[in-house]
Amino acid sequence: MIKERPVAAPREAAIIAVAFAGLWFAPLVLGEYWLQLGFRTLIYLALAEGWNLMAGSAGLVSLGTSCFVGVGAYVAYGFLNGFSLPLPVALIASAVAGAAVAAVVSPALFRLRGLYFTVGTLALAELLRLLMINVSAFGGASGIFLKSDPPPLPILFHYALVVALIAALALTLCVRTRASVIFRSVRDDEDAAAQMGVRSYRVKLAAFSLASALAAMAGAVQAVKLGAIEPYGMFGLQWSIDVLTMVIIGGMGMRLGPLVGALFVIALGETLADYPEAHIAIAGVILIVLIRVAPRGIAGLASSLRIAASKRAPA
């Protein structure tokens, strides 16, 4: 395990708060294109942080992100269309819904360990997608439309910023405080942890619910921006795969992994999209090379380079 210089929780939280406060003013400075890229990066960042929380901290490798993104999207539309409530309320409802779904499925899912858990989350995501397509009460394959127009981009950017901020702070809480010891004990050896008195089920549930709530909120904000949702777009497996790609490329278990991964995936996607003929294959090749060359992701690569550099002659 690469040793990172430990950063105390309050200091890290402060850094995050300052960074996000600075970003708050981005709409005043950035052009529309950069703001849109920033929005997408923030949504992805929230998803990746949540995933990292589950996997890096509690050992739950999930392919079910799409399930919660979709739940958040549909619940948000339900509240906005049905009850005409303001967006923050709809977001909170989505978060609660995401956590609730996680809580409902965890008795079944947590019976599964390791590989089986991963496969189980994949099945869950697919099951929900198939259900949404078949049940016409939720619009079926045609989906549903947002009745009112979405707010303008700067406001949506702020919402994405808030969601990403919550995600970042949540991860700091789990990784930098004493809670991190408990999480890691469950990740490394659940049975031994249980022997030591750690209530591993509750720990896993906490991580899973939190990650799911974050994914749901991210899905809700994305859905509001789109203005129209349907099962293939909001429950599609591309969400689960994209998150995993980000975390692997960024560096699993590295604190900056999600951020680096999100930035890289968005940037790569944008650059390659200008070459529509072979961009998918190129993305695949880049992914394979990166996985080979950077076992701990880009953040890990940077970290080991820095350590190697500091071990040599003084700068």
Q: Which of residues 252-311 bind another protein (CB under 8 A)?
A: 252, 267, 270-271, 273-274, 276-281, 283-285, 287-288, 291-292, 295, 302, 305-306, 309-310
- Choosing from 25, 29, 33, 197, the residue that interacts with another protein (CB under 8 A) is 33
Note whether 148 binds another protein by CB under 8 A.
no
Q: For another protein, which is the closer residue by CB, 9 or 117?
A: 117
Place of tokens 């689960």: 240
Q: Which residues have CB under 8 Å from 74's CB, separation 6+?
A: 132, 138, 144, 223, 229, 234
Stretch that binds another protein, among 14-22, 29-37, 86-94, 210-218 (CB under 8 A): 29-37
Least distance to another protein, CB of residue 214, Å: 18
Residue 85 backbone phi and psi in degrees, to 5:
-90, 160
Three-state DSSP class for residue 229: strand
The count of residues interacting with another protein (CB under 8 A) is 77
| Residue among 196, 90, 103 at smallest CA distance from 150 | 90
Q: Which residue lies nearer to another protein by CB, 100 or 127?
A: 127
Helices (H), 135-189: 153-176, 179-188
- Distance CA(21)–CA(16), nearest Å, equals 8
Closest approach, Cβ 37 to another protein, in A, equals 7
Work out whether 101 is an interface residue with another protein (CB under 8 A).
Answer: no
Would you say 9 or 132 has its CB closer to another protein? 132
Binding residues among 104-123 for another protein as defined by CB under 8 A: 108-109, 111-112, 114-116, 118-120, 122-123
Among 143, 258, 261, 300, binds another protein (CB under 8 A): 143
Q: Does 30 engage in binding with another protein (CB under 8 A)?
A: no
Identify residues 210-239 at the interface with another protein (CB under 8 A): 222, 225-228, 230, 232-233, 236-238
Whole-number Å distance between alpha carbons of 251 and 221: 26
No. of helices (H) and no. of strands (E), the chain: 17, 2
Q: Least distance (Å) from another protein to the CB of residue 202?
A: 19
Rounded Cα–Cα distance for residues 148 and 224 (Å)? 10
Cβ atoms of 250 and 242 closer than 8 Å: no
Contact residue for another protein among 131, 155, 192, 196 (CB under 8 A): 131
Residue 145, interface with another protein (CB under 8 A)? Answer: yes
Stretch that binds another protein, among 1-9, 19-27, 127-135, 160-168 (CB under 8 A): 127-135
Question: Interface mask (CB under 8 A) for another protein, residues 59-88, using x and -?
Answer: --x---------------------------
Q: How far is CA 237 from CA 12, 53, 122, 169, in A?
A: 33, 20, 8, 27
Q: Which of 11, 84, 142, 196 binds another protein (CB under 8 A)?
A: 142
Residues 6+ apart with CB under 8 A from 106: 204, 205, 208, 209
124 binds another protein (CB under 8 A): yes
Residue with tokens 């929230």: 46
CA 293/CA 155 separation, integer angstroms: 39
